[in-house]
Amino acid sequence: LKDRKFIFIDRDNFNGVLKGIKPRLAYRVDNTLAKNGTQLGVELNFNTLEDFEPQNVVKQVEPLRKLLEVRNKLADLRNKMGGNDKLEELLMDVLQNTEKLKTLGKEFGREAAVPATDAKDIISESRVARSETERTRTRDLIGELVGQVLEGEMTPSKDLIAVLDARIAEIDSMLSEQMNEIMHAREFQQLEASWRGLKYQVDQTETSTTLKIHLLNASKKDLVRDLKASSEFDQSALFKKIYEEEYGTFGGAPFGMLLGDYEFNRNPEDMYLLEEISHV
C-alpha cells in the first residue's frame, strides 16, 4: 500500500485510469450452453467502461465468442439469400443430397464440407458476390451452413430461410441465457457497480483547481494488512498518504471527504477495520 499513489481522475481521463488499474474478474457460472450440470470458467479484463457491455463481454468468453461468430455468419448468409432465389435453390441442392454431403472434402475443417469447386459454382451461378473479398466471405458462410447441417444443428427443409431464422433465434436464446448467468453473477455486478458508481460521481462533479477527485486502488485486505503492520494508526501508510503527504505538507491539498466502496459484515476483521479506519 505504501507504494501506491492517489490518482487524479476526471471525465477526460476516466478510461485511462481504469485501464491503468486493470480490473479483472475470474469466476465460474452454470454452463447453460452444455446443460449438463457443469460450470463455465469466466475470465474478464476491463480496459474501458464499455467493456462491461454485453457485446464486449461476449468477445472475452471463448465459447460465446465462437457461437456469436456462427450466428453472425448464418445471419449474413440469410441476408444474402433475401431476394436471391437462385442462391437458395443451389444451396438446397447441396444440402438435400445426403450422399454428397457424406463424401465431400474437409475444406472447412469439418469431417465433410462443400469442396472448392462446388462452392465456386454456387457463388458464380447465384451471382451473390462481385469482388474476391465477397467471394471469400460467401464461401466461408456456405461452409458454416453445411457444417451446421452435418453436425446436426440444422435440418434442411424446403424453406431454407425459415430454417436459418430458427437457428439464429436458437443461438440468440443460448447466448442470452449464458450471458444472464455471467452478467448477473455477484462478482460481475459488484465490479460493474463500483466503476459505474465512480463514473457517475465523476460526471456529476465539476472539478476545478480547488475541487479534485483522487482514487486509491486498495482492497479491504490491503487496508487491514497495512493497519495491522503498524504499531499505531498514525504510523500506517494510509494515514501518511491522507494526512502527512497532503495536510502536513507545504503545498498539499487536504482531503475534504473520503469515500470507500466496501462491503462490511459482523466478522472480526471487518469490525477491526472499521474501528481502526475511524481514527484515520
Q: Which residue has the cell 486493470?
A: 22
Task: Determine contact, residues 90/146, Cβ cutoff 8 Å.
Answer: no
From 140, 160, 148, select the one nearest 91 (Cα to Cα). Answer: 160
pLDDT band at 15 (very low <50, low <70, confident <90, very high): very high
Task: Determine contact, residues 201/210, Cβ cutoff 8 Å.
Answer: no
Q: DSSP characters for 25-55?
A: EEEEEE-TTTTSS-EEEEEEE-SSGGGGSHH
Q: Where are the alpha helices (DSSP H) in 85-212?
A: 85-95, 98-103, 116-126, 132-150, 160-183, 186-203
Average pLDDT over residues 245-264: 82
Q: Which three cell numbers stand for residue 237?
A: 501508510
Helix (H) or strand (E) holding 24: strand 24-30
Q: How many helices (H) and strands (E) does the chain have?
A: 12, 4
pLDDT band at 228 (very low <50, low <70, confident <90, very high): very high
64, amino acid identity: L
The torsion region of residue 25 among left (phi > 0), alpha (psi -120 to 50) and beta comes to beta
* 17-21, 67-71, 167-171, 246-250: least confident range: 246-250
pLDDT digits (tens, 9 = 90+) for 83-131: 898 998 888 888 887 776 665 445 555 554 555 557 788 888 888 888 9
Task: Determine contact, residues 129/135, Cβ cutoff 8 Å.
Answer: yes
